[in-house]
Structure 1
């Protein structure tokens, strides 16, 4: 079969520097899915943007062709030689793109429906009524329960998953021959990711489109791709049919990516024998309610139950992982565990700085006591890019916590900063640099170093690896494990990635809509899950194994409304069943 799109010897650079895309070649056939795989900076996105001629203004295409096949039997056209007017007829109509971050790609000033309709207005000869009909049909096809509401909504009124579905609708509504999907699920929760991947695959089969999937996740590749091109530092390392590359990778870089891909172990990991529990933090009967104003003065206020009846503890020297999707309440739990958010009256949040010490109730701290507690409890945030002040040198960012708490003189603070850099695997000569000079993984190491400056005993890690490539994620997880064991730290680890949690956690609490639905040690929760939502999270975890595809039926059932769950777990509204112990240390929210 003749290739639909062929990239030949593409080289792209900036100014006089070495090329960032160097002699790259690949092709995709009609109806096929090609995965471009690599870490950030590998050149995969630039290669795809070159095909659409939407490169940054400073980028130089130094050599290469991008051939796009026309109607059957016609001579392929070189997109690099087309005029801008000719390219406008190609973009959106024949080739479309799903961007990584929909909030940045959608106009915040225009309604979703108007933005999607624009594709038809520019490229199809349709009346307004026919345009509306097709857009609403596409909204229904991508899974919107109320297409008309979405049509009249602005992007900020939709969740991340809904915005990504709107982006897919925009890319698909013109029935293009090729769709380029640039990390279309990176920012999504795991069950939403599984459903979006299934949606792309269904629409591809329905319309006969080819797909180029840009990703760093080999689990996504295993579920979607027919062929794979592995890129590193602007060059193609390995390419071939997906089953062959994933089952028998030949290049060392591909093997390293495979080894770094997180997955739930096939057999339970022994976390050691159960001993007497020494809790550094206990949360008992913890709830958090927010009251939101109505959209207008005459509309009633809305009560949001962010967290309901939390009962768990973090053991000293161990890791409690709280797993859940966006809106589940896990970050609210983390903020209450640090005293940054007050729980509803009646809650008890107790902290013991040392074994046998008198507990401190975080709900009743005065300013002096709160400052003392903050020396013992610190946080590692999700986004390493926004954590550090871009105007502060590394040394100033690291020394700031000691200055706030009045610890040491300038020389002692500098020595402490240099020591913390060594602990996280960075060099002392980085102290004088600014954050923009570091990669994402290095910035996350700096964030960990900053959290350790005061010598805490308790760390809250809020999605510390979700913004990182798989190999960098592996390095940061190893670092967190080493530091925990070295300093006897205790972690409250927030995540939506069960594969990461299976590796680092000693106990896991699964949250959904403010409730813990299942809780227990990893060897029970992952290998004997009881709750349909836990089963959905496990089923939605993409694995780099072509023979273990995502089971969308299990995902759809567990991710659905509680009123659709099996009888033992079903409930309506706020009337949830209790958290019941079904085995040693294993609790499930179900009807007894």
Structure 2
């Protein structure tokens, strides 16, 4: 089969440092998918950026050539093309989906205009026709209201929705080669399954080739024809997916598979989590946002981000909240943190010490507010953007103590050293800046900063989604160790069900602002009753080529509630109640 793209002996270095990509070669055939797999810092993204000449000027790139096969003009050496010709290639012949969409989208332009620009520049079509094609693509990548997204600015969308917009931008022009750099990292599993299905569908329609950069071995098993495993800039193993996935030969590849989280086999159902000592409780909590309409004279639109949420977290336990992007998970987390106020009638209670004062989170006095901020701390999804790039580690870790007037300057520094040791980092890094660390190290720093105030409750918003499998395993071990050692309680938000099955004591599944099913993980994952929960489980990719994602089940459960079986459907726009069908297992259904 003819290779569409060939990368020969690629080496990348910066200044006089040793190469970060060393003699890497790979090729992707027309219509096939190549997966580049490896840990953070292994050279996957740099190799892909080198194809499109998107590396910084400080990079020294050496290779025998990067050849794109053009049927009309033979092989084109991309590494030797002038910038003007490369602009004709980018977005047209070769598109790239970047991992962090907020850095790739212009904050000053509407999403629809940015995606339409690809078509008006490269396909020479009218704005009206471009908008029609963009709206169709928005619908295919899972947007429920394409018109609203077309008019929206990037900051008005969630992380998962921005990633969907990036995927639509990269695929709307139907390129010959799509380079997807961790394109599903920020997506929930149902949207991920739909996007993977969309990419496969586009490949069948147009013969498009794909280079898929990922650390998710389940995605590799479902998407790839060939696999290249990278480690510290060198190729460790390469070959057809059935050989690399089915019988990995290199020790590093075997190590990656050992670290990959999987949903465990069914065991004896666990007893429900006791709720006699509750640290956090949400009662009848709803949240409505008033969003401006598309025109000045139109009335604002009410969006119900959360509806009648009733959740509680037992002291020393972990409640995991799962669901697709836009289901209300992060809205609930923000209300728990006191960053958002719920609608009138809802109440959030927090009791930091057993038998202590119960705080009303939404009506805190000034002295109560200081105590609450110390006892409850957040850990964010993207550790890089949550750190000030101009602050050294020691300043970032001691700032919360400084603001709350806790300890002397030397005591704060000692505390910073102590929490660094808790998360497995050396005190010698205190005077470095955030950019000097890998993603996994930055996430450890984020956890250390949260621990500096000696909290009793952590709100973890997708804390492992951007990490490769081996670093993710280390962070999960750290969470488990801290909970045992310090008795911490967690509200853990995630879209990775394998991660949730490992860390959670109880799981709540959210869909469009409502909890639709709640149970201990063993019960929920092996006896799911709600069609949406069944879709989440069907969409979870497994590192086994013989167990592909069942897109039919995913589409059925993740689609409109009107398509669900009758006992789960809303009646006159009113959802059925959350009913306990067995001890500790509640499902939103008609009795």
Shared fold (TM-score greater than 0.5)? Answer: yes
Q: Which residue of 2 aligns with 1:60?
A: 60
Work out the number of aligned pairs and report it. Answer: 591
Q: Which residue of 2 aligns with 1:553?
A: 552
Q: Which residue of 1 aligns with 2:12?
A: 12
253-262 or 486-495: which moved more? 253-262
Correspondences of 1:561-576 after superposition (within 5 Å): 561-571=560-570, 575-576=574-575
Q: Which residue of 1 aligns with 2:177?
A: 178
Q: Which residue of 2 aligns with 1:100?
A: 99
Matched, 1:588 2:564: no
| CA gap 1:284/1:111 in 2 versus in 1, 3 angstroms | closer
| CA gap 1:563/1:420 in 2 versus in 1, 3 angstroms | same
In structure 2, C-alpha distance between the alignment counterparts of 1:375 and 1:409, rounded to whole Å: 17
Q: Which residue of 1 aligns with 2:226?
A: 227
Shift in Å at residue 79 of structure 1? Answer: 2.7
In structure 1, C-alpha distance between the alignment counterparts of 2:486 and 2:396, rounded to whole Å: 22
Shift in Å at residue 279 of structure 1? Answer: 1.4
Shift in Å at residue 525 of structure 1? Answer: 0.7
Shift in Å at residue 113 of structure 1? Answer: 6.1
Shift in Å at residue 236 of structure 1? Answer: 0.7
TM-score, scaled relative to structure 1: 0.91
Correspondences of 1:26-175 after superposition (within 5 Å): 26-71=26-71, 76-107=75-106, 119=118, 164=163, 167-175=166-174
SS in 1 for 2:485: helix
| CA gap 1:138/1:16 in 2 versus in 1, 3 angstroms | same
Contact kept in structure 2, 1:12 and 1:22, CA below 8 Å: yes
TM-score, scaled relative to structure 2: 0.91
Matched, 1:410 2:409: yes
| CA gap 1:327/1:573 in 2 versus in 1, 3 angstroms | farther
Deviations 1:119-173 (A, max 9, x none): 5555557788887777677667666778787777766676666655554455445
SS in 2 for 1:47: helix
234-243 or 274-283: which moved more? 274-283
Alpha-carbon RMSD across the aligned residues, in angstroms, is 3.0
SS in 1 for 2:435: helix
Q: Which residue of 1 aligns with 2:276?
A: 277
Contact kept in structure 1, 2:116 and 2:127, CA below 8 Å: no
Shift in Å at residue 405 of structure 1? Answer: 3.0
3-12 or 398-407: which moved more? 398-407
Deviations 1:32-52 (A, max 9, x none): 111111223222222222223
Shift in Å at residue 501 of structure 1? Answer: 0.8
Q: Which residue of 2 aligns with 1:372?
A: 371
Contact kept in structure 2, 1:271 and 1:506, CA below 8 Å: no
Q: Which residue of 2 aligns with 1:23?
A: 23
SS in 2 for 1:266: coil
Mark the runs of 5 or more structure 1 residues left unpaired by the alignment. none
Q: Which residue of 1 aligns with 2:398?
A: 399
Mark the runs of 5 or more structure 2 residues left unpaired by the alignment. none
SS in 2 for 1:4: strand
Q: Which residue of 2 aligns with 1:524?
A: 523
In structure 2, C-alpha distance between the alignment counterparts of 1:373 and 1:333, rounded to whole Å: 17
Query: Which structure: larger Rg?
Result: 1
SS in 1 for 2:3: coil
In structure 2, C-alpha distance between the alignment counterparts of 1:339 and 1:15, rounded to whole Å: 47
In structure 1, C-alpha distance between the alignment counterparts of 2:262 and 2:57, rounded to whole Å: 40
In structure 2, C-alpha distance between the alignment counterparts of 1:100 and 1:9, rounded to whole Å: 25
In structure 2, C-alpha distance between the alignment counterparts of 1:570 and 1:547, rounded to whole Å: 33
Q: Which residue of 2 aligns with 1:212?
A: 211
Correspondences of 1:184-583 after superposition (within 5 Å): 184-268=183-267, 277-294=276-293, 298-571=297-570, 575-583=574-582
Shift in Å at residue 304 of structure 1? Answer: 2.8
Shift in Å at residue 512 of structure 1? Answer: 1.6
Shift in Å at residue 57 of structure 1? Answer: 2.2
| CA gap 1:490/1:385 in 2 versus in 1, 3 angstroms | same
Deviations 1:400-419 (A, max 9, x none): 33333333323332222221
In structure 2, C-alpha distance between the alignment counterparts of 1:457 and 1:162, rounded to whole Å: 32
Shift in Å at residue 591 of structure 1? Answer: 0.7
| CA gap 1:174/1:359 in 2 versus in 1, 3 angstroms | closer
In structure 1, C-alpha distance between the alignment counterparts of 2:352 and 2:267, rounded to whole Å: 31
In structure 2, C-alpha distance between the alignment counterparts of 1:289 and 1:141, rounded to whole Å: 27
| CA gap 1:573/1:434 in 2 versus in 1, 3 angstroms | farther
Shift in Å at residue 221 of structure 1? Answer: 0.7
| CA gap 1:192/1:474 in 2 versus in 1, 3 angstroms | same
Shift in Å at residue 248 of structure 1? Answer: 1.2
In structure 1, C-alpha distance between the alignment counterparts of 2:281 and 2:144, rounded to whole Å: 40
In structure 2, C-alpha distance between the alignment counterparts of 1:47 and 1:541, rounded to whole Å: 28
In structure 2, C-alpha distance between the alignment counterparts of 1:151 and 1:308, rounded to whole Å: 26
472-481 or 63-72: which moved more? 63-72
Contact kept in structure 2, 1:563 and 1:572, CA below 8 Å: no
Contact kept in structure 2, 1:263 and 1:543, CA below 8 Å: yes
SS in 2 for 1:545: coil
| CA gap 1:375/1:295 in 2 versus in 1, 3 angstroms | same
Shift in Å at residue 467 of structure 1? Answer: 2.4
In structure 2, C-alpha distance between the alignment counterparts of 1:148 and 1:313, rounded to whole Å: 37
Contact kept in structure 1, 2:187 and 2:495, CA below 8 Å: no
564-573 or 131-140: which moved more? 131-140
Shift in Å at residue 82 of structure 1? Answer: 3.6
Contact kept in structure 1, 2:278 and 2:313, CA below 8 Å: yes
| CA gap 1:573/1:323 in 2 versus in 1, 3 angstroms | farther
In structure 2, C-alpha distance between the alignment counterparts of 1:121 and 1:281, rounded to whole Å: 52
In structure 2, C-alpha distance between the alignment counterparts of 1:537 and 1:391, rounded to whole Å: 40
SS in 1 for 2:213: strand
41-50 or 353-362: which moved more? 353-362
